[in-house]
Chain A
Amino acid sequence: MTVTQDKTTVPEQRRHVMQVRKRNGDLETVDVNKIVKAVERWVADLDEVDPLRVATKTISGLYDGATTAELDKLSIQTSAELIGEEPQYSKLAARLLAAYVEKEVRNQGVATFSQSIRHAHQQGLIGDETAAFVARNARKLDDAIDVSGDLRFEYFGLRTVADRYLLRHPQERTVVETPQYFLLRVACGLSQTPAEAIGFYRLMSSLAYLPSSPTLFNSGTRHTQMSSCFLVDSPRDELDSIYERYHQVAKLSKFSGGIGISWSRVRGRGALIRGTNGKSNGIVPFLKTLDAGVAAVNQGGRRKGAACVYLEPWHPDVEEFLELRDNTGEESRRTHNLNLANWIPDEFMRRVEADGDWSLIDPSDAPDLPDLFGEAFDDAYRKAEKKAVKTVKARDLYGRMMRTLAQTGNGWMTFKDRSNALSNQTGAPGNTIHLSNLCTEILEVNSDDETAVCNLGSINLGAHIIADGVDWPKLRKTVRTAVVFLDRVIDINFYPSDQAAKSNPRWRPIGLGLMGLQDAFFQLRLPFDSDAARELSTRVQEEIFLTALESSAELAERFGPHPAYGETRAAAGDLHHELWGATPAQTERWATLKTRIEATGLRNSLLVAIAPTATIASIAGCYECIEPQVSNLFKRETMSGEFLQINSYLVRELKARGLWTAPIREQIKRAEGSVQGISELPADVRELFRTAWELPQRALIDLAAARAPYIDQSQSLNLFLSAPTIGKLSSMYLYGWKAGLKTSYYLRSRPATRIQQATVSVAPIAVADDEALACSLENPESCEACQ
């Protein structure tokens, strides 16, 4: 006890004698000035950073006898921990990390990009073709590396890249490429000429566009599986087919794919099994097996496998299906690793509205239901109702769906008829979309022997904004490059299953998405729910869709239309926004495009899908896809650790007004990242910086519906309610269905109570009372909350 006390009560003394162990084993006394110098190297453009503060704080966390590598890592961590006070520390931490990574690469004798590729090729990491391509063009490619490229990264983005995207030595586990080498490697894996590679590299390095994670992981490597999404049709109603699906899901998952799989064709509990004259146990035990399978296969060690199961609501096991994610009840009937989605025909929603009955029908009695949509489905369903296993009130079942959404966030509402009626791929009879994917933005036809595949990439809209609005020429250029490289993936891709290899060359679908919409709104000072924001989002989406179609037509001129083009609605002269009935703004360009398509066809059956972009938005340092910000101050939890994120637009705004002070920071923290209760801030600032929890969800749906005509697949639309009730949810999703949404994604909600804050002061700040008064009914004039 006494020893301990002595050691800790005189920390100054201890610090004087603290030593670190160098890489060669020598001990060296820790020197504050040395750390300060190391930090100062990186702060030329970071005027708010205090190098001495980083140095002293680093030393305070150190122990006597630590290694210099530990010291380096701790200084990175220490800078990262100051981000909540001053966002510039994010850049500093990123640069210290880049320097650390660079040292690790250089220590392996790698001085250039081409040497890095050669080294990684020798270790069996790089594919022969890419290695040869780089060797042939070594000088040009080496010269193309942008030495200041890493300065653009924020800490969280670079940390993500360093921990999970950079290729590692198979035994040593050291990284063998720097962040810029990594991006050029990805470009080279998809390019035919050095000029092409360099152009694509520059676009990615500027963080204006990024392909999806599987492409970033695998381009240029020996396993070029670069697709994000796989849509697997329901197993047939027989054991062999079910076990074949397990096998297929495992193979797809191994190579980083996210999986959507339908289960609507498999008979329900109690249905007769003729072969044995027994009764079926229904779908739940089979899904339990799928659950275990998904958990067992991790995606190349980089992230956990993930799958979403789709079921149509007429299936007799639908009620048990909705309980699969509950956290209580019989464990053998729970699937904690599977996501769940409802694939809903309009007939169901109509009966919910009319408060009608709903029949549950066994698929073995009506095997054609999964393949039908629209009126054909309605007729077949009504006929099959005679054989119903059970009849429930449509509203009761709808209510259960809402309950599942509220309690688990799962049980996504996706709409079968709308998805099929507007799809370019369902022009010919027999082509049906049976489900969406893991993130509800992909809608593609599939069948028993064809698994739909999609490659994704997303434009960072925040990087396409100039003073007075969108930089349209830049946006067009980005779209053109993106389409070419997404299309390229289809031919180079390694397909983990035969079913996937069969579908993709026929339809050649791609999914060009968008991220950083919230960044664009902040930069242009548009409140998320304003008319101007909705108009901007719609026009951006029109521009992207239009340019993507133009690019696809151009590719078709060179390489011919995709083989199944004749079966598409485009071949019959109908484009997605026309099927939707929307009025575009760029009428002339559309007219020209249509004439061109008539002549040449399209290289791709589908072009646009808005994916959640969770990881690549982090790398690019922007807000996720089309989402509003979740909070002005929050932490990200990932496999790499936890990261504080602060809204740098808000910080800039407050600094300009002299309001970025410790008390204001504390108030933001106390309010969990909300600025609504901070009376010092002007009303327009509070309005602009509302969070997803504070926006009317109707506006999110309206924005989504307004841009939807220009999205030929769909969008991963999350909705946010802090305190969901069945009443709110049922109103919200009915509204979404009526607005014409094809799909929706998670319902986000918040825990009923929270961990007590450990680092904000105990005494409540007086403002809280002012706020209560301002919002009370006795004082209606000053209340803005309800206006």
Chain B
Amino acid sequence: MLLDPGMDLTLRPMKYPAFFDRFKDAIKNTWTVEEVDLHSDLADLQRLSPAEQHLVSRLVAFFATGDTIVANNLVLNLYQHVNSPEGRLYLSRQLFEEAVHVQFYLNLLDTYVPNEQERFEAFAAVENIPSIARKAEFCFKWIDSVYSLRELKSREDRRAFLLNVICFAACIEGLFFYGAFAYVYFLRSRGLLNGLASGTNWVFRDESMHMAFAFDVVDTVRQEEPDLFDAEMEQQVRDMLAEAVECEVQFAADILEQGVSGMSLGDMREYLQHVADRRLEVLGIEPVYGSKNPFAFMELQDVQELSNFFERRVSAYQVGVTGTVSFDDDF
């Protein structure tokens, strides 16, 4: 079983081919930080209102540390306990992607914040910005909850581990990041900070896959060990998501403190609740909030993009295309 302790090394016969497919798909989406052109952002930063500037500075401060925390949990917990070589292939790939995201936001901050002292402060957000510290504490709590486990021997160990996986997928990548993406896409829908948005678009694409993989892990365990999932666990997940929503709402209150037209705190809360409901649904748990998505600009993320190449780099290509020259393929 997937959570049995050990270091399975056998790729054939493959027990979890779906994990391997995810690994291959992820490789096709390779992108590099150098492809993101931030130069028009610098002009935009000058035009932002003080309220928007505050929003951006808080947002990038969160990004400066967010992916690092996820990467840490991946190495410290996930990689250790997901005992499938193909699953670990995917996790290795995910780790690489997290590193690229960290590099992207590092590059972003270096570009956005030319003043060295201010830059140091942004990177220290976890310590000195309370609304970000609160979110970080939430993450650390869940990292620590399983950190001492070397092996998942008991039912309790496994449940603890599942909660960690669910926390990182549903609450951190699935809610904190989705909150952050909403600010980025809000700005882009107003034609602002295209560089940030195009890099974030690729980050978002990767994060969607990370989340999907984590939920695959949960589903696999559910099939293998259905008795791990019970009402108590459901309640724990609901509580965890409720806490995550509160963490993110207090962050929103800070970020929107000065008033941003088109993005009210009330709408943001509704959006976060809506996202939380979706995470519950994926986990087969009855949604609790019944909120609707108030942000039309998020709906824009759900449809195909069509860039005018004069204006934007198109992000829709694949790497790792295969095959050989032939003249009678169907097209």
Residues in chain A within 8 A of chain B (CB atoms):
1, 3-5, 7-8, 11, 14, 60-66, 70-71, 73-74, 77-78, 81-82, 84, 163, 258, 295, 303-304, 306, 327-328, 331, 334, 336, 339, 352-353, 395, 398-399, 402-403, 406-409, 614-615, 630-631, 633-645, 669, 672-673, 696-698, 721, 723-732, 734-735, 746, 748-763
Contact = CB atoms under 8 A, between A and B. Distances in A.
B315 to A, nearest CB: 7
Interface in B208-225: 208-209, 211-212
Nearest to A693: B304
Nearest to B35: A327
A770 B8 CA distance: 39
Interface string B269-307: 100000100100110000000000110111111111111
Size class of the contact patch on chain B = 35 or more
B300 A642 contact: yes
B296 A82 contact: yes
B103 interface: no
Contact of A327 (B31, B260, B326): B31
Contact of B261 (A66, A81, A399, A755): A66
Interface stretch (B118-126, B136-144, B234-242, B316-324): B316-324
A731 B331 contact: yes
Interface stretch (B21-29, B73-81, B155-163): B21-29
A721 B316 contact: no
A338 to B, nearest CB: 12
Given A407-B318, A731-B331, A754-B208, A633 B310 contact: no
A755 B275 CA distance: 14
B261 A73 contact: yes
B110 interface: no
Contacts of A755: 201, 204-205, 208, 301-302
Contact of A734 (B249, B256, B313, B327): B327
A753 B210 CA distance: 12
B83 interface: no
Contacts of A762: 278, 281-282
Contacts of A643: 300
Contacts of B304: 630-631, 633-635, 672-673, 750
B2 interface: no
Interface of B: 25-26, 28-32, 34-35, 37, 39-40, 178, 185, 188-192, 194, 201, 204-205, 208-209, 211-212, 246, 249-250, 253, 256, 259-267, 269, 275, 278, 281-282, 293-294, 296-331
Given A7-B265, A721-B331, A750-B316, A407 B178 contact: no
Contacts of B312: 637-638
Given A61-B263, A403-B321, A8 B269 contact: yes
A749 B316 contact: yes
Given A636-B306, A636-B308, A77 B212 contact: no
B51 to A, nearest CB: 9
Q: Majority SS of interface residues in chain A? A: mixed
B259 to A, nearest CB: 4
Contact of A336 (B37, B209, B259, B309): B37
B318 A728 contact: no
A402 B178 CA distance: 37
Given A754-B205, A756-B212, A63 B321 contact: no
A651 to B, nearest CB: 15
B316 A8 contact: no
Contact of A753 (B32, B188, B205, B269): B205
Contacts of A645: 306
Contact of B302 (A339, A669, A725): A669
Given A60-B294, A641-B190, A759 B302 contact: yes
Contact of B299 (A77, A84, A630): A84
Nearest to B190: A641
Given A696-B331, A754-B208, A306 B310 contact: yes
A60 B296 CA distance: 13
Contacts of A399: 324-325
B58 to A, nearest CB: 15
A637 B305 contact: yes
A756 B301 CA distance: 9
Contacts of A638: 191, 307-308, 311-312
24 contacts: A4-B250, A5-B249, A60-B294, A63-B256, A65-B259, A84-B299, A295-B39, A407-B318, A630-B304, A631-B303, A637-B194, A637-B305, A637-B308, A642-B300, A644-B296, A669-B302, A726-B325, A751-B29, A751-B315, A752-B318, A753-B205, A758-B278, A758-B298, A758-B302
Contacts of B316: 409, 748-751
